[in-house]
């Protein structure tokens, strides 16, 4: 949590960080100022991840060969 706070107060922002599933889940449950996106080559990829880690789908985007889903922790 301290490392994320330091990154958020540094310049320039936004910052792209890649998390493993446990760190992502914990971060989304403890902070409200972090946006997270899950990407997959398959339409069901994000849904599978969201279900497994008990996250909430916020929005979806589709690029040519990539499905991107914004997620948040459950409140």
Rounded Cα distance, 41 and 72, in Å: 20
Q: What is the pTM of this model?
A: 0.71
Rounded Cα distance, 66 and 9, in Å: 30
Rounded Cα distance, 38 and 48, in Å: 11
Question: What digits encode the pLDDT tens for the residues 34-50?
Answer: 888 999 999 899 999 99
Most confident of 16-20, 25-29, 55-59: 55-59
| Domains of the chain, earliest start first | 2-73 (3.30.110)
- The model's confidence at residue 12, banded by pLDDT at 50, 70 and 90, is low
Residue 36: closest CA among 18, 61, 63: 18
When the pLDDT of each residue in the chain is averaged and rounded to a whole number, the result is: 84
């Amino acid at each position: 949590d301290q490392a994320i706070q330091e990154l958020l107060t540094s310049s320039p922002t936004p910052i792209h960080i890649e998390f493993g599933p446990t760190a992502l889940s914990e971060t989304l449950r403890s902070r409200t100022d972090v946006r997270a996106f899950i990407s997959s080559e398959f339409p069901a990829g994000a849904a599978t991840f969201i279900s497994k880690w008990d996250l909430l789908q916020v929005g979806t985007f589709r690029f040519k060969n990539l499905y991107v889903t914004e997620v948040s922790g459950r409140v």
